[in-house]
A and B are shown apart, each in its own frame.
Chain A
């Protein structure tokens, strides 16, 4: 079973809102990732967590705040976003950071 789940599927928010994206996996994977994907472009890495510790932050603006409360759960907290942040946000997990990544279905975010 290589299932990664993400909620919500769609999210519309204003620039002053605070919202969170959630990602969950029950495969015992110890590495989890957030990617941002604009239309007709490949995914771009945002953050990597390894054993619940942040190991990579790809110079992402502070209005995106990741959190890994436990080994199965990864959150992305959003605050004061801009319209250009509208995109598909993909979560992925892997057994460890050197293993194959499996992706969730994504959250389509629209910032008004």
Chain B
């Protein structure tokens, strides 16, 4: 079974600075998808970024980018120019490319932005 580990329960960063959230995963599959979701206090899970395992190029969405290291099974999220609205719980998630439709989530990292 696949597992996802987020080793940082809490992180904080100064507004306008850069922060990196860590995620590692364990799988024997070669084809899969990885996601970062954000859950602010409003509770809605919002997709931040998605990475296909077969793509070597790291995904980027505006101020959000990932460092995908397939051999190391690492998938970190970098947030540049942090804004107050980035404060949220961030979940890393894994999904197999075949068969199961289940998202496997990490335990989450709570990110605080200091003004």
Contact = CB atoms under 8 A, between A and B. Distances in A.
Contacts, number: 49
B97 A98 contact: yes
Interface in B56-113: 91, 97-98, 100-103, 105-108
Interface residues of A, number: 25
Interface in A33-80: 33, 40-43, 45, 48, 50, 55-56
Contact of B45 (A41, A48, A103): A103
A50 B42 contact: no
Contacts of A56: 100-102
Interface of A: 2, 31, 33, 40-43, 45, 48, 50, 55-56, 88, 90, 92, 97-98, 100-106, 108
Interface of B: 33, 35, 37, 42-47, 50, 91, 97-98, 100-103, 105-108
